[in-house]
Amino acid sequence: MINFAEISEELHNIIKNDAQVDDYFSYITRGEMVNQDPGSTPWLGVYRKSIDYDPHTIGSNRPWKAEVQLTVLVQAASLRNGEDAEIRLEEGVQRVISAINNNKNLNDKVLMLTAINVEYAYNPEMSEDMAYQMGEITLTYEVRS
């Protein structure tokens, strides 16, 4: 059977143990509440998103293949302006993607990485003295048991 928590933990460990990522982020969490404090940025959180089991089986009644999606939330803020927050956010996103690309099978916890998608958001309640933005990196992996 596929243990999604083990996959999430492995992704978190790979990201956290990457020197470029660890040097950049103030906080790297897994499964915790999403950060709401711009003062706690740059911040990163790893979350399970979905698991889609393929109904095919091999000699048993359990699925043997699945597609799992994990989300990595990356946040950055700036006291200067939105442009600076965007630059800081993109630096964090690029460091995370680089760490992910360095270990695409999560130390054999998954078969392969099949897609990376990044969506960006900003805080609509930004003030004139604080710009606060977030990137949501969705990772799709193929897993076989």
What domains does the chain contain, in order, with CATH numbers? 4-144 (3.30.70.1700)
- The torsion angles phi and psi of 50, rounded to 5 degrees, stand at -160, 160
Please check the confidence at residue 59 and state whether its pLDDT lies above 70: no
Residue 65: band (very low, low, confident or very high) from pLDDT cuts 50, 70, 90: confident
What integer pLDDT is reported at residue 128 of this predicted model?
66
**pLDDT higher than 90, residue 126:** no
**Pairing relationship of beta strands 27-30 and 43-53 according to DSSP bridges:** parallel
Whether residue 115 has pLDDT greater than 80: yes
> What average pLDDT score do residues 56-68 get?
73
Average pLDDT over residues 114-127: 83
Calpha distance 119→105 (Å, rounded): 23
Please give the single-letter amino acid code of residue 29: T
Q: Is 24 left (phi over 0), alpha (psi -120 to 50) or beta?
A: alpha
Give the separation between CA 70 and CA 97, rounded to whole angstroms.
13
Distance set, CA 133 to CA 10, 18, 25, 99 (Å): 26, 23, 14, 21
Give 49 or 59, the one with higher predicted confidence.
Answer: 49
Assess whether pLDDT exceeds 80 at residue 88.
yes
Question: Mean pLDDT, the chain, as a whole number?
Answer: 91
